Structure 1
Amino acid sequence: MRTYLSNLIPSLKKFSKQLDDVSLLTKNHWVIVDTVSNIKSVYIFRANKELIISHDGKVEKANWDYLGNESLLIEKQNESYLFKHGFFDDNILALKVDNKNEYVFFINENKYDVNLNTFDKLINFLELNYIESSKKANETIVEAKKKRILVPFKTSQGIVEIEQESSVHSPSEGANAYLNGKLAPNGKYKFGFMFYVNIEEGKVKSVSLF
C-alpha cells in the first residue's frame, strides 16, 4: 500500500464521519490512491468482514474488521495492517497507519475516474470543500454580525436592547436580547403600550399583543 504524509488530515477531523459507520464503508467500492503504479486497485469491504481486492480485475481475497476505538484491521494472506481513523466521508477514506504520521487514501470509485484520481487532486478537493468552505461560512457569519445593531426598547423591566439589522423593525424572533449589558433574563416583557415579548435564554422567543 502506498502511504502519504499529510498535515491537512488532522485539521479535518471535525468534518469527518466516524469510522464505525460501516454501512458507508460497505455500500461503496474504494479505489486506493497510488500515483506510482498504473494499476487500479479497488477495495470492496463486505458486510461479512470479507475484503475483496481487485487489481485491474485480478481478485485477491482478504479480511477486514472494525475493532472499535476508531481502529480498522486489514488482514491479507501474508501480512496484516492496523489503521486508525484519519478522515471519512462519502468520497474519501483516509486511514492513518498506526503509530505513524502516514496515511493510505481511498476514493469512492464513483468519483475516481472523473474528479479524484491523484493525491494532489484529492488534497485540493478536501481543502476546497472543507477548509475554504468553512472559512467562507465563518466570514459570512462575521459580516452578518457586523451589520446588526443594538436597538433599544423601553419595557416594563427597563431598557432592553435587541440585536437587529435595522432600527425600524420590531423585535425579531431568535434575536439576542440584552438588559443592563447582559443577556436579558427569562420573562415576559411589556414593550410600550402595544405588545409583549417573551425572552428565553437571552433570545426573543415570541412577540404577542397580550
Structure 2
Amino acid sequence: MLKDYIKKVFPGILEFSISLDKTSSILDKPWVVAGIDQAKEKYIFKKNHELLISREGKVEMGKWEFLDEAHSFLIRRESGSFLYNKGYLDKAVLILKVDGRESDYLTLANENVLPDLDVRGYLEKIRYRKHNILKLELEDGSFVEVERDYDTSFPIVGNRISLAGGLAIPPGKYRLKNDQQILEVAKGKIRSILQLQQYNYNNRLIEIEQQDPEDINEGDYVTVNGLAPLSGVYLLSKRRFISVHNGKVENIGYRKYYRNWIIAGIIFVLLLLLLLFGFFA
C-alpha cells in the first residue's frame, strides 16, 4: 500500500523537498489524492487562499493557509479543519503529515506532471537517482537497496545496503535471486560477496560459499545436502577433496597425491627388502 511505503520513506525523502513556504509552487494546479481506491478527489489551491475540492464534478469550497511559525498547512473544509506538517513538496508530489499521527499522510499528485498518479514509482526513482541506488531481488522475493559510490551494475564490498524503502538491514547473509552470489552484511554495509558453488559427487550435493569465485579457500562455509556437515573429509570429485571442521573448509587436497605416496612407499619397501635380501644372501 502507498500509505505503508510513504511511512517508510518519508524521513529519507525530506532532504529532496523544496521548502513548504514556497506556496506559489502549489497554486492553481490539479493536486489529486493518490493511493485511495475511491472516487478521485482533486485539490486546487487558489492564491486568495480558497481551496476547491472536486469529486466527480461536484465542488466543495474550503480554505487553506500556511502557518509560517508552525511551518504547517491548515486546511478547512466541510468535514472539519485539519492541520498538516512536516511536508514534502516538488513539482509532482505534495505530501503532508497529519499533525499528531505517526502514519497518517495526505498524499497529492500533480495530475499535469504525474498523470498516472504513481507516487511510489516517482519517489523511488528520485531516491535511486539521488543516492545512486541499485535495487536487487533476493531469493525469497524481497528486495534490498545498495547505495553505490560508483555507477556500477553490480554491488561492491563496502557499499551501503538497506532493506527496500531505506530501512535498516539486520546483519547476515542474503542470497540474490537467479544468481549464485551471497551478500554478507554487517553494520549496514556489504562486508563480503560470496560465490555459491555446487559440487555433485557420490549422490551428495556440496555447496561452498567461496570467498574467491574461482577457487576454494580455507574458511569457506560448507553445506552437504542443505545441512551443516559433520567434521571430516568430503570428496568433490574422483581426485579432489576438502577437509571440513565446524562447517568450514579446513584444507583442500587431491587424492592422487595420496596414491603417489602409497606407490612410493610400496616401492621403497620393496627396494629395502631387495637390499636386505642381497645383504644376507
Shorter-chain TM band:
0.5 to 0.7
Letter in 2 for 1:106: L
| Alpha-carbon offset, residue 140 of structure 1 | 3.8
Letter in 2 for 1:87: Y
- The corresponding residue for 2:56 is 56
| Deviations 1:3-40 (CA, angstroms, capped at 9, x unpaired) | 93411011011100111111001142201114321x11
Letter in 2 for 1:67: L
SS state at 1:105 partner: strand
1:124 corresponds to 2:94? no
Which structure's relative contact order is higher, taking Cα pairs within 8 Å and 6+ residues apart? 1
Provide structure 1 residue ranges, at least 5 long, that are not aligned to the other structure.
142-210
Preserved CA contact (<8 Å) 2:3 2:35 = no
Equivalent residues in 2 for 1:66-145 (5 A)? 66-68=66-68, 69-101=70-102, 102-113=104-115, 115-116=116-117, 121-129=118-126, 131-136=127-132, 139-140=149-150
SS state at 2:11 partner: helix
Tell me the distance in 1 between the aligned counterparts of 2:76 and 2:88.
Answer: 21
- The corresponding residue for 2:14 is 13
| Deviations 1:152-202 (CA, angstroms, capped at 9, x unpaired) | xxxxxxxxxxxxxxxxxxxxxxxxxxxxxxxxxxxxxxxxxxxxxxxxxxx
Look at both structures and tell me which one has the larger radius of gyration over its CA atoms: 2
Tell me the distance in 2 between the aligned counterparts of 1:20 and 1:85.
Answer: 11
Aligned length: 133
| Deviations 1:83-142 (CA, angstroms, capped at 9, x unpaired) | 0032110000000000112211000011343x32xxxx312220212x21122296249x
SS state at 2:124 partner: helix
Preserved CA contact (<8 Å) 1:64 1:74 = yes
Let me know the Cα RMSD of the aligned residues.
2.2
Letter in 2 for 1:33: A
SS state at 1:7 partner: helix
Preserved CA contact (<8 Å) 2:30 2:111 = yes
Tell me the distance in 2 between the aligned counterparts of 1:19 and 1:29.
Answer: 17
Tell me the distance in 1 between the aligned counterparts of 2:130 and 2:35.
Answer: 29
Q: What percent identity do the matched residue pairs reach?
A: 32
- The corresponding residue for 1:43 is 43
Preserved CA contact (<8 Å) 1:86 1:103 = no
Q: Which TM-score applies when normalising by structure 2? A: 0.44
- The corresponding residue for 1:196 is none
Equivalent residues in 2 for 1:28-39 (5 A)? 28-37=29-38, 39=39
Tell me the distance in 2 between the aligned counterparts of 1:81 and 1:13.
Answer: 21
SS state at 1:8 partner: helix
Q: Which TM-score applies when normalising by structure 1? A: 0.58
- The corresponding residue for 1:157 is none
